[in-house]
Amino acid sequence: MRAIVVDDSRATRAILVRILAELGFECHQAAHGREALDLLAAQGVVELALVDWNMPVMDGLAFVRQVRADGALDGMKLVMVTTEGDTAHLVRALEAGADEYAMKPFTAAVIREKLQLLDLAQ
């Protein structure tokens, strides 16, 4: 399976890529939503995107909305991984089309649990 990790922090991307690699994912990385959309247009759809909320250029919420508006990206599971932990942000993300929501700080176990809920991990 293929995934994309979208976060402006290289450090967090590195941690998430290691977690996903242990779960068997081949990972792409992008520093913001616009870069992720460009990468998906070039590389084709992936099964999973882990998406930060606060990023320059295009934030995570705008990215989720763009993905859900693009039929070519149907079927991609979207998990927000963010410091934005209040209920209002959670509701906005789910209404925009996110499938799951994980708070920073996270552990490998939490990410695995979220992917299990989406049938993307055992």
Partner 1 sequence: MDAPVVELDRIASDIWTAMLGLTLEPYHDAPVFPPDQRVATGIVQITGDFEGAVTVQLAETKAREVAAIMFAMGPDEIGEEEVSDAVGELANMTGGNVKSTLCGVCQLSLPSVTSGRDYHVSVPGTAVRDRIGMTCGGELVVITMLLRQDA
Contact between 96 and 61 (Cβ < 8 Å): yes
Number of residues that bind partner 1 (CB under 8 A): 21
Single residue of 4, 5, 6, 8 touching partner 1 by CB under 8 A: 8
Distance in angstroms (rounded) separating the CA atoms of residues 17 and 28: 8
- 24 touches partner 1 by CB under 8 A: no
For residue 93, CA distances in Å to 28, 52, 61, 96, 101 come to 22, 11, 6, 5, 8
Candidate residues 2, 65, 104, 112; the one interacting with partner 1 per rule CB under 8 A: 104
Which residue in 1, 15, 23, 39 binds partner 1 (CB under 8 A)? Answer: 15
Distance, in Å, from the CA atom of 90 to the CA atom of 2, rounded to the nearest integer, reads 25
The strand pairing partners of 26, in sequence order, are 2
Sole window of 42-50, 66-74, 91-99, 105-113 interacting with partner 1 (rule: CB under 8 A): 105-113
Closest alpha carbon to 72 in 42, 28, 30, 96: 42
- Residue 48 or 102 having the CB closest to partner 1: 102
**Binding to partner 1 in span 44-63, by CB under 8 A:** 54-56
Site residues (vs partner 1, CB under 8 A): 8-12, 14-15, 18, 54-56, 82-86, 88, 104-107
